[in-house]
Amino acid sequence: MTAPFKQADAVRKELIAGDDAEGRLDAWLALTLEGDLSRSRIKALIEQGAISINGQVVHEAKRKIRPGEHLLIAMPEPEDPEPKGEDIPLDVLYEDDDLIVLVKPAGLVVHPGAGNWTGTLVNALIHHCGDSLSGIGGVRRPGIVHRLDKETSGVMVVAKNDLSHRHLAAQFADHGRSGPLERAYQAVVWGRPQSLRGTIDAALGRAGDRTKRTVKHEDSDDAREAITHYEVVERYGQQPDASCLASLVECRLETGRTHQIRVHMAHIGHPLLGDPDYGAAFKTKANRLPEPAKTLVKDFHRQALHAYLLAFEHPSTGETLHFEAPLPEDMQVIIDALQTMDGN
């Protein structure tokens, strides 16, 4: 049920329909307001009784607009978010009125949910951003347009207002096919892919578990297209047969499915070091490593995955912003130890 509208909490905006005004009220307003409010948000305001035409409150989004009509829009102040702000340190790379770019550490959940109602990135952002959050969908909250798994570190961008949220979300939905969006990850995997550079095109779906994913036949009901491009950057522990014990791989996403890199690399036989869900069968391979790599890898209890690069178009300026974050200390220590196996 739509919440009742409170006139006292509103900011009023007046419009007069021009000679070319036509079509549905919600569609015309979405076009006239030039992205200030989404069409779904406008529809909600109409249903709440927040819009009047010629002094009469309207409740139907499909009502036709006519030239010369006088509209009064009473936009409520954004509501406080249900999650509460928490003073959790953030590694901020960039921030302005529209968005914030930060480095998420491993171990931090992005959004509150079952088992993680506090201590999340959203809680931290609500505290950090404060009143600079102007409201997304009518709620004063950060706009999450992409996520990283709890135990994956790396660069993220978060929107501060509704316009930025929609603009960024559209870029991520397009996956960089027609714009400057770019995402790249660094992963440490077991062994070395047969091809030093390649593409994994394998649809993903649920694995019988709400949280896990697996490769599915493209005709499966829940199969979703998933494409990962990878390139081997370094090889560790070269063997007489030209294989190696582990590799540093760069992965770039053409799609953005849950656990995509983790499942795809496991699918081709090279799961990520430390991955508890898709690399558990490879845990004993640590016994083949010399010290100190052997102990470090055995004590590494998360997937070795870091989102090191993110580029996108700024929603307001149109400028392409580019951000990189170095490997976190725990992954760098592992790599340093692996490099010593080859005398580096």
Question: How far, in Å, CA of 110 to CA of 5, rounded?
Answer: 31
Q: What's phi and psi for 197, nearest 5 deg? A: -145, 135
Question: How far, in Å, CA of 61 to CA of 5, rounded?
Answer: 16
Closest CA to 332 of 188, 184, 151: 188
How many CB atoms sit inside 10 A of residue 269's CB? 12
Q: What's phi and psi for 336, nearest 5 deg? A: -60, -40
Contact 325, 221 (CB under 8 A): no
Q: What's phi and psi for 151, nearest 5 deg? A: -95, 15
Closest CA to 308 of 188, 189, 168, 186: 186
Closest CA to 82 of 111, 103, 53: 111
Residue 115 DSSP code: T
Is it true that the peptide bond before 142 is cis, omega within 30 degrees of 0?
Answer: no
Specify which residues 126 forms β-bridges with: none
Question: How far, in Å, CA of 344 to CA of 325, rounded?
Answer: 23
Q: Has 149 been annotated as catalytic?
A: yes
Q: Which of 149, 275, 277, 330 is catalytic?
A: 149
How many CB atoms sit inside 10 A of residue 118's CB? 12
Contact 165, 145 (CB under 8 A): yes
Question: How far, in Å, CA of 267 to CA of 48, rounded?
Answer: 50
Question: How far, in Å, CA of 325 to CA of 274, rounded?
Answer: 21
Closest CA to 229 of 170, 154, 190, 175: 175
Residue type, 322: H
Catalytic residues: 149
